[in-house]
Amino acid sequence: MLVHLQGAWTPWLGRLTLSQIPYNSPIVLGAFVFALLMAVPIVALFTYYRRWGYLIREWITTLDHKKIGVMYIIIGLVMLLRGFIDGVMIRTQQLLADGPRSAAHLQAVHGYLPPFHFDQIYSSHGTIMIIFAVTVVLTGFQNIIVPLQIGARDMAFPYLNAVSLWLTAAGAALVMISLFVGDFSHAGWVGIIPLTELPYSPGVGVDYWDWALQLSSLGTTLGALNLITTIVMMRAPGMRWFRMPFFTWATLSTQTIGLTAFPVLGVALALLSCDRYLGTHFYTAGLGGNLMLYTDLFWIWGHPEVYFIILPAWGIMSEVIPTFSEKALFGYTVMVAATLSIAGLSWAVWLHHFFTMGAGPGVNLVFSVSTMLVGIPTGVKVFNWSLTLYRGRLRFETPMLWAIGALFLLLVGGLTGMMLAIPAINYTVHNSVFVVAHFHTMFLVSVFGIFAGLMYWFPKVFGFRLDEHSGRRFFTFFSLGTVFVFAAMYILGLMGMTRRLDYLYDPHWQPLLIIQEFGIFLYCVSVFYFCKMIYVSIRDRAKEAHGQDVWQTSRTLEWMTQTPVPFYNFAVIPVVHGRDAWAMRRDSGLTATSPDQYEDIHLPNNTIVPALLGGLAFGFGFGMVWRIWWLAGFSLLGIIGLVILRSFADDKGFTLKAAMVRRMERNHEDTGIMTDHISPPVAELMLFQ
Amino acid sequence: MSRTAHRLIGPEEPLWAPHHPEADPVSMHTLGFWLYMMSDALIFAALFAAYAVLDHPYNAAGGPQIRDVVHPAGAFIQTIILFTSVFTYSLSMVGLKAGNRAFVIGGLLAAVVFGAAFLGLELRDFARLFAEGATPDRSGLLSIFFVLVAAHGVHMVFGILWMLVMMVQVAVKGFTTAVVTRLLNLRIFWMFQASIWVCIFVFVYLNGAYR
């Protein structure tokens, strides 16, 4: 059954040999040095200040949804940087390798990247940006904000929440280690079939891609059921469905998509794994395989995934725009209906990714119409945001700048999407960079939404504002970079430039490629200002410290909690009287009121088990990639054993006495400082006491 | 101060809900588990879709057709055994209502035995097919046949493992909230596997044999 592979294989190390470490490639070596330069100071600082214990007790073992969310966002931002560097390399290669006379550097015939390396870079760029950057950051936001917005003390399943995080981290770690040990997939982020089959990709690259996606999609599925249960079961008294903050509605739609779409990806990848490991013929070109089966299954997940990414960003815009327009969201009910119908339509449009498959005019027509239908609720949203802005008292602080930027991008991305929904147009521009420009515009709506959310909620989570000055420069350079790169890319697409080219044959594209590279330069400047913004904000955190409601006009319950939010969120669960609960309290002059009686608060203890499960999942993935069967087997048994062991543990949880809650809350009112240094103990440590 | 588009909160209205009851853990876990089952249902939906695509003489690639590999009579016996397993699990739920530990453990044990018998027959069936040379790597059709049936079988293995753990937990811990919740969710899981088997029996075995 097991496929016989050519090449070296040993029982202890599987396919892993020393020659698999590409120390002779100057680019990989450079990346390794860069990673060391990032990692060594962090490790040194933690060791110098003796913070490892703190890191494990307060972060690695935590079940607090806010800390888990912060860790999601940190992973996502690190991956965003990695994906960005990949993007820079792609653009630079295409600039250098244009035309037969283009210069050759390093080991390449044109440009500086040999084709095999270039293919890995665009594959990892796509995989990282979609699965490990944007999805992960948005999941982080939903983790942090949703329980706060609905007036809950935690998620429905805090332990499962941590498991989701560490599974995602294991997937991200697999992608990162593929840079230094072996190689990554060269078959695009979609896994072009049958290129991903063993005869055409005998290396470990596709396996890395496969297992990284598989692990993180498992984490996402578990996270989805957790968030849905939280929203359904844990709302504060008085928070009826149509009083929920809009971001919560967006999360509910998003996670419904996640719950139903990600299992299909799991199947698509599992069948591919069967082909690669067991020699079955699901997607092979011969012996009864069906290539389009993979493409269909992949996009049955892939298109809902697109909305999985965009809906939370729209949720963020729907929180930011009302806050900085100083009025309620226009057409709340219609907005909810629009979000739900986009979620519903997301399952009915997948075939538009391959109109050229030749399914016939009937099939193409159905999917063309269903794709155009998406434009209706999306248009409704654009009008609702515009009408929220209309006659509002607009304040252009950084979150608002990003939200407005996203609104403009959505127009461009949405209208080009409508063009692509027409099969006749789609046939002519299929596989061109016009398509690439379109979906980058849409993903950038998400990215703009992410930065809006980052600026908007950062003070809530950390207690101080991000530096406005460098934040504006970050926004300016990022937006200009977007214009230069993608305006040129749209034109290049219409000029006939196709995707994924390591060598461009037409020298007439040179001017536009130079414009794109200039845009990339502007992006690089914006990264500098992002780092400066973080640095300046942390340096001046005392000056920029703020109370519970930093923007003064925010509307939802998360702004009612103390800042930074204590681990129990709400000392006493608030009663909700209507939509925009916090705005109602503010207008009624009730912001300063505190509860007259406190209660004992009961929360689960911290535990190391989720992190161990993540580590074992990584071991399983790594073992499967390199076919080190003992490692994969022991990791799998370890996971099963650990889950069973944990099910026998009786976690009594951690109780914070009412008097202590009162002291923490009142102390905060007097001094403005939240004593956040009380958090639940680690359950496993208590065994040894 | 934002413009008010909503009513103001009156002085008599309560602002806080002290001792607000937390969500009932049993119903919360049950909802969560139903959602998990939904994702599991989608895994099987995708596999059945793949079966529908690959269930074509062309995909047999000159090898055995589906009617050559399925034996509905054997599968019917498997069906009866699996339903007996579900029935004995349900009997143990009667014991749960009565709070009788031995009754529950006995019912679970019977469910495990019948579940294992089901798996034994399935493995025997697979061994026979392997001996005939009908292996998953023969054709796309056989690939999806084996993977679909084995995916169900793997679920059964985990269900049996879960039952063994629950037998120990009922004996050691008694009927705590967590244990009862797990027993109720395991019931959903086990009945779901039986319903999936019904689909496999109808679409793969019956439909395959009498076409």
The answer as to whether A462 is a domain residue is yes
List chain B residues with CB under 8 Å of A271: 50, 143, 147
The whole-angstrom separation of Cα A92 and Cα A80 is 18
Buried residues in A649-673 as b, exposed as e (16+ CB within 10 A): eeeeebebebeebbebbeebeeeee
The whole-angstrom separation of Cα B145 and Cα A288 is 13
Cβ B2–A553 below 8 Å, yes or no?
yes
- Nearest CB among A156, A274, A597 relative to B147 is that of A274
List chain A residues with CB under 8 Å of B139: 281, 287-288
The answer as to whether B173 is a domain residue is yes
The answer as to whether A481 is a domain residue is yes
List chain B residues with CB under 8 Å of A595: 15-16, 18
Residue B144 sits at the chain A interface (C-beta within 8 Å): yes
Read off the tokens for A562: 């103390």
Amino acid identity of residue A200, one-letter, is Y
The answer as to whether B197 is a domain residue is yes
Mean pLDDT, residues A223-230:
97
The whole-angstrom separation of Cα A434 and Cα A601 is 55
Helix H or strand E encompassing A603 = strand A601-603
List chain B residues with CB under 8 Å of A1: 135-137
Residue A199 sits at the chain B interface (C-beta within 8 Å): no
The answer as to whether A512 is a domain residue is yes
- Using CA coordinates, name the residue in chain B closest to A276: B137
Mean pLDDT, residues A643-651:
89
pLDDT by residue (tens digit) across B15-40?
A: 999 888 888 889 999 999 999 999 99
The answer as to whether B66 is a domain residue is no
pLDDT at A671: 58
Rg (CA), chain A: 25
- Residues of chain A with pLDDT > 70, as a percent, come to 98
pLDDT by residue (tens digit) across A285-325?
A: 889 999 999 999 999 999 999 999 999 999 999 999 999 99
The interface residues of chain A toward chain B in range 560-579, judged by CB-CB distance below 8 A, are: 572-575, 577-579
Read off the tokens for A31: 């990346």
Q: What's the number of domains chain A is made of?
A: 1
The answer as to whether B104 is a domain residue is yes
The answer as to whether B81 is a domain residue is yes
Residue A281 sits at the chain B interface (C-beta within 8 Å): yes
Q: Which of A568, A562, A561 is nearest to A655 (CA)?
A: A568
Read off the tokens for A299: 């996009």
**Domain ranges, residue B203:** 71-210
CATH number of the domain encompassing residue B129: 1.20.120.80
Cβ B137–A280 below 8 Å, yes or no?
yes
The interface residues of chain A toward chain B in range 520-559, judged by CB-CB distance below 8 A, are: 553, 555
**Residue A183 in this model has a pLDDT that exceeds 70:** yes
State the average pLDDT for chain A.
93
Q: What's the number of domains chain B is made of?
A: 1
B197 near B84, Cβ under 8 Å? no
CATH number of the domain encompassing residue A398: 1.20.210.10
Residues contacting A95, CB < 8 A, separation 6+: A513, A514, A516, A517
* Backbone CA torsion sign across A98, A100, A103, A108: positive
Per-residue pLDDT of chain B (211 residues; tens, 9 = 90+): 445 567 888 888 899 998 888 888 899 999 999 999 999 999 999 999 999 999 999 999 999 999 999 999 999 999 999 999 999 999 999 999 999 999 999 999 999 999 999 999 999 999 999 999 999 999 999 999 999 999 999 999 999 999 999 999 999 999 999 999 999 999 999 999 999 999 999 999 999 998 7
DSSP A14: B
The answer as to whether B78 is a domain residue is yes
Where is pLDDT greater, at A208 or A104? A208
- Using CA coordinates, name the residue in chain B closest to A1: B137
* Backbone CA torsion sign across A527, A529, A532, A537: negative
The interface residues of chain A toward chain B in range 248-267, judged by CB-CB distance below 8 A, are: 259-260, 262-264, 266-267
Cβ B1–A586 below 8 Å, yes or no?
yes
SS3 A10: strand
Residue A651 confidence class, pLDDT cut points 50, 70, 90: confident
The interface residues of chain A toward chain B in range 145-164, judged by CB-CB distance below 8 A, are: 156-157, 160
pLDDT at A650: 78
pLDDT at A567: 87
The answer as to whether B145 is a domain residue is yes
The answer as to whether B43 is a domain residue is no
The answer as to whether A317 is a domain residue is no
List chain A residues with CB under 8 Å of B1: 586-587
pLDDT at A685: 80
The whole-angstrom separation of Cα A476 and Cα A479 is 5
